[in-house]
Structure 1
Amino acid sequence: MKKQLIALQEYLAQNGLDAAYISNPTDINYFTGFYSDPVERILALLVFPDKDPFMFAPQLEVEAAKDAGWDKDVFGYLDHEDPFALMAGHIKDVAGSPVNWGIEKDDMSVQKLEALRQQFPDAKFPVNLSRYMENAKLIKTPEEIAELKAAGDEADYAFSVAFKAIKEGRTEQEVVAEIEYAMMKKGVMHMSFDTIVQAGANAANPHGGPEKTPIEKNELILFDLGTVHNGYISDASRTVAFGQPDEKPLDIYKVDLEAQYAAMDAAKPGITAAELDKVARDVITKAGYGEYFIHRLGHGMGTSEHEFPSIMEGNDMELKPGMCFSIEPGIYIPNVAGVRIEDCVYITDDGCEPFTHTSKELKYID
């Protein structure tokens, strides 16, 4: 059994909990190696302090869960069956009628909670396991870092495809299609989020999507992409010049790159998340662009693209070896341009190392 599961069992025992109901798909993957988005169906991992855990899944996912390496029981249900009634029967066979439960309150819907409570009328839910998961996933193991490195290598390959795909008159959406087609051909089954390609002033919308507008020369183009490798993700951004942009976008790029380098140099054990955010923010503010840096410096990552820690003002958490997060300062000036340069890194004993290695010096594409 994975040591992550053993740690959860110990936590349950120490906190007087009879059962844990894990419902977040990325957390189920973290414990089992199996990922699936059940949509409206029920997928859950049931964990007990002193009994073997089991997975409960739609029948059409049972064999896939086993193929993923899960060696404990997987109980399935058919669409016409009552999943919570069937699940409750298996729970009672294994652990009787648990009273004190830990559930992921950030993930579990009211409807599902009520369905579980109907099967166990005496149940209490004193612990939000979402907080446990945030801390459990905070420090990555060497094995997890190896998976994140592999995902980073895939992102670097995606950038090489992306840069070659830029052609005058081609739309942002067409460039996205070429990137994702190439990654599928390479064997990557999933991108970690919707690939972002934004040209010119469109990039001033940090979470905007690719558009049908043809790409024009003499503007910056922002790419934000990542892949999923064995359940672990990559997330990186690069901004390149197509032709010869005006002086203003080039100055924005220069400042953003300086901020990113400064934060990379400062990221090491002992600095707080807030202090690291300030390192990059001070560079951008000093250059006169502070009002256009409108998000935190970074977010944790691992089995999902947004985990702990948040690298932002007000977070006094000290960084420790094994923590993994993004460093992504951005400058977004409406109707002018947007620049974001992002690497995800892991903290080492004396600094940090990035998962992606595509050059950040401004690349000019003819």
Structure 2
Amino acid sequence: MNKIEKVQRWLADNDQDIALISDPKTIQYLTTFYSDPAERVLMLVVFKESDPFLFGPALETEAIKDTGWTSPVYGYLDHENPWKMIADHIKAKNTNHTKFAIEKAQLSVERLESLQQLFPTSDFSANLTPFIEQMRLIKSNDEIEKLKVAGKWDDFALQKGFEAVQAGKTEDQVAAELQYALMQNGIMELSFPSLVQSAAHAAEPHGATSEKKIENNKLVLFDLGTVWQGYISDASRTIAVGKPDEKSMDIYKVCLEAQLTAQDAVKPGITAEELDKLRET
């Protein structure tokens, strides 16, 4: 059973007719096609008992087909009303369009109201988001391989960052070098802006890479990740420039011990909360 079929099974099991999927990341997860439509409309419509269709800007239709998507694709131009067009395509395929499941965590109120105006007697109360989240928790072998590739490029980027570090360089310069090395190898998307933070600046959780110059005998924190075919890596590492003082090394050792303790305790069935409590002890 593929991912679309799992959504169709959920619709049948939950007495729903149609799933309206509006989150670009969910659409990518289910179809492999990704685009950020910005102010435009991108929607995957999944029917309980017939083929789905993808709807989006006309300038994206060929790119959708290039992914291998074999079900219908419909595009619209900026002067056209996308919601009416979606409604027309649904009505052409389904006469019992009474119960819609939506992604409540993503679909805006304004867009929901646009749909409700076109389907005034329909029910939009079903929330598809928890089911999609549960689906994404369990990775297929293919997904695991993609995560491994993303992790491999994360390791590559970290190594390039380590090699770039030297006293007198700014954090920005080190981040730029590791990101350029990724781009030279075709890795164009990062999980988030790479963080390189040195000395006391490294104590700011989720801070920002800055123009601060790296000092000798200090620690440097890296936090970065890469994206491979929609799958994301994320790793943090700390290195030393020269020989940091005893207090800095004590802090490093405490953090390392907590991390290793949690790693050793990982096993099927244990919760993240339980691991976090182990780390604190």
Q: Name the TM-score class by shorter chain.
A: over 0.9
Between the aligned partners of 1:173 and 1:97, the Cα distance in structure 2 is 57
Measured in 2, the distance between the counterparts of 1:43 and 1:106 equals 16
2:175 paired residue number? 176
Does 2:208 match 1:209? yes
Aligned-residue offset at 1:18: 0.9
2:90 matched to 1:88? no
Tell me how far apart the structure 2 counterparts of residues 197 and 231 of structure 1 sit (CA, whole Å): 24
Q: How far apart, in 2, do the equivalents of 1:227 and 1:37 lie?
A: 18
Task: Name the residue aligned to 1:341.
Answer: none
Which residue is equivalent to 2:27?
A: 28
- 1:16 correspondence with 2:11: no
SS at match of 2:276: helix
Using the TM superposition, give the Cα deviation of residue 97 of structure 1 relative to its aligned residue in structure 2, in angstroms.
5.6
**Equivalent residues in 2 for 1:155-304, closer than 5 Å:** 155-282=154-281
Give the alignment's TM-score, normalised by structure 2: 0.96
Structure showing greater Rg = 2
Distance 1:244 1:129 in 2: 53
Structure 2 unaligned regions, length at least 5? none
Deviation at 1:61, TM superposition (A): 1.4
Residues 309-332 of structure 1, C-alpha deviation per residue, up to 9 Å, x if partnerless? Answer: xxxxxxxxxxxxxxxxxxxxxxxx
Letter paired with 1:156: D
Q: Deviations over 1:220-239 (max 9, x none)?
A: 11111111111111111111
Shift of 1:217: 1.7
Match of 2:116? 117
Q: Structure 2: how far apart are the matches of 1:68 and 1:193? A: 25
Aligned equivalent of 1:39: 38
Unaligned runs of 5+ in 1: 283-366
Q: Structure 1 CA distance, aligned partners of 2:199 and 2:170?
A: 12
Moved more, 242-251 or 231-240: 242-251
Q: Compute the displacement of 1:55 (Å).
A: 0.8
- Residue 140 of structure 1 corresponds to which residue in structure 2? 139
Provide runs of 4+ in structure 1 moved above 6 Å: none
Supply the distance in 1 between the matched residues of 2:72 and 2:148 (Cα, whole angstroms).
31
Aligned-partner residue type, residue 99 of structure 1: T
Q: SS state of the match for residue 137, structure 1?
A: helix
Q: Counterpart of 1:334?
A: none
Q: TM-score, normalised by structure 1?
A: 0.74
Question: Which residue in the other structure is 1:53 paired with?
Answer: 52
Q: How does 1:320-359 map to 2 (within 5 A)?
A: none
Identity %: 52
Q: Which has the higher contact order (CA 8 A, sep 6+)?
A: 1
What is the total number of aligned residue pairs between the two structures? Answer: 281
Compare 141-150 and 69-78 and name the one that shifted more. 69-78
Find the residue that maps to 2:147 and give its secondary structure. helix
Kept in 2, the 8 Å contact 1:91–1:97? The answer is no
Instruction: Give the whole-Å Cα distance in 2 for the aligned partners of 1:195 and 1:8.
Output: 35
